[in-house]
Amino acid sequence: MSVVDSFPLGAATTLAELAEDPHPRLALLRAHEPVSWLPELDGWLVTRRDLAMGVMRDAATFTVDDPRFSTAQVVGPSMLSLDGDAHARHRDPFAAPFRPREVRDGFASSIERETDRLITALEPAGAVDLRRAFAGPLAVAVVTEALGLVGTTAATVLSWYDSIVRSVSDITAGLQAGAAGAVAYGQLRAAVEATVADGRGASSLLVSAAERLGLSEVASNAAVLMFGGIETTEAMITNALLHLLSHPGQLVLVRADADLLDGAIEESLRLEPGAAVVDRYATRDTVLGPATIRRGQLVTVSLTGAGRDPAVFPDPDRFDVRRENARLHLAFAHGPHHCLAAHLARLETRIALRRLLERLPALRLDPTRPTAPYGLVFRKPPVLHVLWDRPA
């Protein structure tokens, strides 16, 4: 029996379905083929939480260090696409500012200022696409500050990010990446080199990283931090707003008890992580659940599927801001490649949502412009049109 015959549900799964509305298909796979061969993916898809954690913990068996890894094809080797000692050498120079206390002390006040500035600018309109007018610009501003990148504007950084993410997504979907991603990365690398040459104080993370890494290595890691930080946080803010505004009863709970805001964010991450999947490659023949995986085969972990595993999360499709174990989601991955800036993304999202709910009375979705998360690799609503009561 061929591998396709052994996994009929995987054989019937399309990438278009996983990009549009993956949850029913992922639930079916998780229940019957928790490690399944998807011909359209040309690899394995892991949907059960315990198996997903096993893959991400075991970098010796399931590695990112492979020429097919999509991000490395666009920006070169980085902490995202290396394992073992090489991974540690690339990651460690960037780690210090993203620890919990350093994040709180170093970023809270600037995030609050930028959040209020953006809300003040949009407040008189009474209607806006919050993804492009708020979540995206806020994420760009924070990442630019975190890296210490000089001589660029938020609009320029956002354009680089759009092009790089598009190229990564195209490669993951089996398409030929256009030239825009390479051009954008070249421009980012030039900005990184200019920042390091400028050397404005030790406060620049890029300048301090350049004391331990080569310029090309600093640039590649800056690229993954940039698009990872923007993508993760823009998606966190947008998805959490969509979840809250789509569930008025849950929004009432959060408005009545500010302590529930963190629960709302974690529950949103569980239901719809901004990064839907992570890729690994088998370094040897191995058995994972019902599957015999051969050396060199692609193993894609569905963070989205893991977040709705009913063995861990009862009534998994329900949005419940008081769910006690919501933080057991895997939205920031797991193991050695756990998201470096997870604490910063959480802080940024918490401040953003709190200030939006405080300052925009009767914030609500625009009923004439419905939206839903979309994306195979990165998932968030393409737009998030909202309304609020303008000041008299």
Report the distance separating Cα 226 and Cα 143, nearest Å.
6
Report the distance separating Cα 192 and Cα 303, nearest Å.
31
pTM (2 d.p.): 0.94
For residue 203, the model assigns a pLDDT of: 63
Report the distance separating Cα 77 and Cα 228, nearest Å.
15
For residue 1, the model assigns a pLDDT of: 65
Q: Which of 368, 359, 365 is nearest to 390 (CA)?
A: 359
For residue 322, the SS3 value is coil
Report the distance separating Cα 273 and Cα 236, nearest Å.
7
Report the distance separating Cα 202 and Cα 195, nearest Å.
12
Report the distance separating Cα 379 and Cα 222, nearest Å.
22
Backbone φ, ψ for residue 76 (5° rounding) = 90, 180
Give the DSSP H or E segment for 240.
Answer: helix 215-246
- What is the SS3 assignment for 39-67? CCCCEEEECCHHHHHHHHHCCCCEECCCC
For residue 392, the model assigns a pLDDT of: 67
Which residues are 355's β-sheet partners? none
Chunked mean pLDDT (size 10), the chain, 392 residues: 88 97 98 98 97 97 93 90 96 93 94 97 96 94 86 84 83 80 90 83 78 93 88 94 98 96 98 96 97 98 98 98 98 96 96 97 96 94 96 71
State which amino acid sits at residue 115.
T
Contact 165, 378 (CB under 8 A): yes
Could you count the other beta carbons within 10 Å of the beta carbon of residue 247?
18
Contact partners, residue 250, CB within 8 Å, separation at least 6: 243, 244, 264, 319, 320, 321
**Sequence ranges of the domains in the chain:** 3-387
Select 3-387's CATH number: 3.40.50.2020, 2.60.110.10, 2.60.40.10, 1.10.630.10: 1.10.630.10
For residue 202, the model assigns a pLDDT of: 47
